[in-house]
């Protein structure tokens, strides 16, 4: 699969909305993959100074990336193909803080706001949100890997079920054939017994006539 970068504008996107959109895109990718299409949501990163995010995907074509975003209802600025030139000797890991999103964007966990209110990203919240995204991308990666493994296990289970059904049909066919052979054997045994009885009667008749002929000569 090729690598694609999706650029999005976050200047008017609240942290809660960004979290929701990421989940929707990830879900759309999983649904497309279940249809046999090769696509994977890999990671996300934010440029705080520009209030923009860059999502990394693996897919066969850019059209699959656009299809996933259309299905999720998530807008984007552009989709471009990129090349991964990361040296193999570099460790792919990043340290990150363990803070909840509410504290990261500068709100108290107990702070309340009217239902349905959208808080746009500010210059102060963008750096904290970027650190939260780095922490969240790994969680998405683990979830996607788990779902992919579940899909593989389900496909394997369906294959085994199909093989079991074929074996059951083969066993039923062989059992029917054995029943037929047993019926043929019974018929052959009965025919042989009839033939043996007939031969015995013929031999007895011949012996009886022979004895009668000898008795007549003696008289």
Q: Tell me the three state secondary structure of residue 174.
A: helix
In CATH, which of 3.30.300.30, 3.30.70.3090, 3.30.70.980, 3.90.280.10 is domain 2-85+94-163?
A: 3.30.70.3090
Residue spans per domain, the chain: 2-85+94-163
pLDDT in tens, 24-64: 999 999 999 999 999 999 999 988 888 899 999 999 999 99
The pLDDT score that the predictor gives to residue 163 is 86
Q: Tell me the three state secondary structure of residue 38.
A: coil
Q: Tell me the pTM.
A: 0.44
Q: How far apart are CA 128 and CA 106, in angstroms?
A: 8
Handedness of CA 64, 66, 67, 68 (dihedral sign): positive
- Which of 86, 170, 122, 146 lies closest to 14 in space, CA to CA? 122
Residue the block writes with tokens 């746009």: 120
**What percentage of residues in the chain have a pLDDT greater than 70?**
72
Residue 90 has pLDDT above 60, yes or no: yes
The pLDDT score that the predictor gives to residue 165 is 87
The pLDDT score that the predictor gives to residue 134 is 61
pLDDT in tens, 115-131: 444 444 444 555 566 55
């Amino acid at each position: 699969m090729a690598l694609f970068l999706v650029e999005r504008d976050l200047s008017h996107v609240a942290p809660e909305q960004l979290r929701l959109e990421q989940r929707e895109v990830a879900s759309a990718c999983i649904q497309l993959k279940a249809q046999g299409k090769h696509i994977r949501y890999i990671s996300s990163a934010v440029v705080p100074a520009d209030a923009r995010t860059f999502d990394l995907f693996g897919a066969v074509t850019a059209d699959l990336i656009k299809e996933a975003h259309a299905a999720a209802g998530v807008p984007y600025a552009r989709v471009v193909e990129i090349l991964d030139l990361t040296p193999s000797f570099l460790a792919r890991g990043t340290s990150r803080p363990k803070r909840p999103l509410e504290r990261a964007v500068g709100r108290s966990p107990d702070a309340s706001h009217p239902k349905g209110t959208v808080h746009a990203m500010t210059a102060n919240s963008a750096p904290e949100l970027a650190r939260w995204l780095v922490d969240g991308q790994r969680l998405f990666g683990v979830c996607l890997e788990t779902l992919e493994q579940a899909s593989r296990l389900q496909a394997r289970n369906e294959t085994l079920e199909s093989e079991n059904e074929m074996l059951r049909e083969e066993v039923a066919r062989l059992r029917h054939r054995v029943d037929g052979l047993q019926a043929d054997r019974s018929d052959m045994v009965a025919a042989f017994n009839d033939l043996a009885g007939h031969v015995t009667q013929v031999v007895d008749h011949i012996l009886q006539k022979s004895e009668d002929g000898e008795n007549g000569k003696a008289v």
